[in-house]
Structure 1
Amino acid sequence: MPPSTPYTVADVMTTQVVAVTPSTGFKDIAAAMKRWKVTALPVVEGEGRVVGVVSEADLLPKEEFHEHGPGMIERMRRLGDTAKAGSTRAENLMTTPAVTIHPDATLPRAARLMADRHIKRLPVVDADGALKGIVSRSDLLKVFLRSDEELTAEIRRSVVTHLFPLSHGAVRVTVLHGVATLTGQVKDRTLIPVAERLTRSVEGIVDVDCRLVAAEEGTGH
């Protein structure tokens, strides 16, 4: 069994979310992005159901074509952008369907989705598609900001004491800058690689130096 329950999106997401509706105008969208220092906003309707996302990239065509309109050939090449350039409401500017994720998704899954879709923020929705929060790339890094002391305590509690109930007192755990070191003697040699693997799976650990030895090796018997 794993040493601890893996962190999920719900553990790190921001629950205070700024959103707009399909009828929100261009200037209000731009003002909200500037005020809240975000690069994308979920678009919601009804009971908070996410129907799209409007980002800086969606607003840029309007700014780009503000001073001089594109020529006919350019318009044909960029029909999507020129349509957005003439739009004033979120429902015409937004990207839909929105790429979303559920609160119980693991952090690696969220990171992989962001990387695959080349996006920095994901609306978090429930089973009905209602907005529950926002998770960003920086949120995914929160687990790596856990203190060395917190990580040490979790490894000792969830890994060492669990695997070595009789000899856990002979195992020393230290964590420095996210790197865990296990030293000492244990009774069962076969559990040493298990201890290393479980320690490596603790959220926030970046590397493991496992120096555990079996008791007979340590005593020379």
Structure 2
Amino acid sequence: MSLTAADIMEPDVETVTESEEVGDVLTKLARKHYSGFPVVDDETGRLVGIVTRTDLVDIFQPSDRTLWIPIGLPPFLESMEYGFDLSWGGLDAELDLARNAGKPISAVMTEDVVTVREDATLDELLDVLAGDDPDINRVPVVDSGGFVQGLVTRQDVLRALRDERRA
């Protein structure tokens, strides 16, 4: 008997809705110690995206506060660019949080979500979780209507492989 997504998924999945605010989702992540949530449509409950810690950390990146200055004087043929960080450390993070906390999670979520059905084999799960995209650490399991039935993480697949080898 081959294992399927239904056999190894976590069926009790906490989701967030697309209109929930970034600040509220950050609080949920901190309290639950999760690394992300499937995002569902406010009205239908169907999967519309996924939000991870990485998505939320990206809104606090100081790339817009880095000043790049080309430096090069003759006899140099090519100039070099030096980056100067113009951020103010903690104050910038607080300002970013204040500016972004009220935004809907749909503004930062990933919309192109890789999903599987409950009958997906262990090999299909491995193809997704060990594939070319290193950012995929979890895959929502959805039914034909797009409703979340569960969630499979890399850890779940590793445990299943370990248990299968021991059997």
Structure 2 length as normaliser, TM-score? Answer: 0.71
* In structure 1, C-alpha distance between the alignment counterparts of 2:27 and 2:114, rounded to whole Å: 23
Structure 1 residue 20: Cα displacement: 0.6
Q: Deviations over 1:22-73 (max 9, x none)?
A: 11111111111122221111100133211001111111122334xx952587
* Residue 58 of structure 1 pairs with residue 62 of structure 2: no
Mark the runs of 5 or more structure 1 residues left unpaired by the alignment. Answer: 75-83, 147-203, 208-221
The one of 81, 100, 104 aligned to 2:115: 100
Residue 16 of structure 1 is matched in structure 2 by 12
Structure 1 residue 19: Cα displacement: 0.8
Structure 1 residue 112: Cα displacement: 1.3
Structure 1 residue 206: Cα displacement: 6.7
* Larger Rg over CA atoms: 1
Residue 185 of structure 1 is matched in structure 2 by none
* In structure 1, C-alpha distance between the alignment counterparts of 2:14 and 2:53, rounded to whole Å: 15
* In structure 2, C-alpha distance between the alignment counterparts of 1:107 and 1:34, rounded to whole Å: 31
* In structure 1, C-alpha distance between the alignment counterparts of 2:67 and 2:129, rounded to whole Å: 35
Q: Deviations over 1:178-220 (max 9, x none)?
A: xxxxxxxxxxxxxxxxxxxxxxxxxx1279xxxxxxxxxxxxx
Residue 80 of structure 2 is matched in structure 1 by none
> Which structure 2 residues correspond to residues 33-182 of structure 1 after superposition, within 5 A?
33-45=29-41, 46-65=43-62, 69-71=64-66, 87=100, 88-116=103-131, 117-118=133-134, 119-146=136-163
* In structure 1, C-alpha distance between the alignment counterparts of 2:104 and 2:44, rounded to whole Å: 20
Structure 1 residue 142: Cα displacement: 2.8
Taking only the aligned residue pairs, the percentage that are identical comes to 31
Equivalent position amino acid for 1:121 in 2: R
* In structure 2, C-alpha distance between the alignment counterparts of 1:55 and 1:7, rounded to whole Å: 27
* In structure 1, C-alpha distance between the alignment counterparts of 2:151 and 2:67, rounded to whole Å: 39
Structure 2 counterpart SS, 1:17? coil
Equivalent position amino acid for 1:14 in 2: E
* In structure 2, C-alpha distance between the alignment counterparts of 1:52 and 1:145, rounded to whole Å: 30
Mark the runs of 5 or more structure 2 residues left unpaired by the alignment. Answer: 69-82, 84-95
Aligned length: 135
* In structure 2, C-alpha distance between the alignment counterparts of 1:136 and 1:145, rounded to whole Å: 14
Task: Choose between structure 1 and 2 for higher RCO, CA contacts under 8 A separated by at least 6 residues.
Answer: 2
* In structure 2, C-alpha distance between the alignment counterparts of 1:72 and 1:57, rounded to whole Å: 24
Structure 1 residue 144: Cα displacement: 3.9
* In structure 2, C-alpha distance between the alignment counterparts of 1:206 and 1:60, rounded to whole Å: 39
Q: Deviations over 1:69-106 (max 9, x none)?
A: 525879xxxxxxxxx99652211110112111111101
* Residue 26 of structure 1 pairs with residue 43 of structure 2: no
Structure number with the higher helix fraction is: 1
* In structure 2, C-alpha distance between the alignment counterparts of 1:125 and 1:12, rounded to whole Å: 14
* In structure 1, C-alpha distance between the alignment counterparts of 2:40 and 2:137, rounded to whole Å: 19
User: How well do the aligned residues superpose, as a CA RMSD in angstroms?
Assistant: 2.6
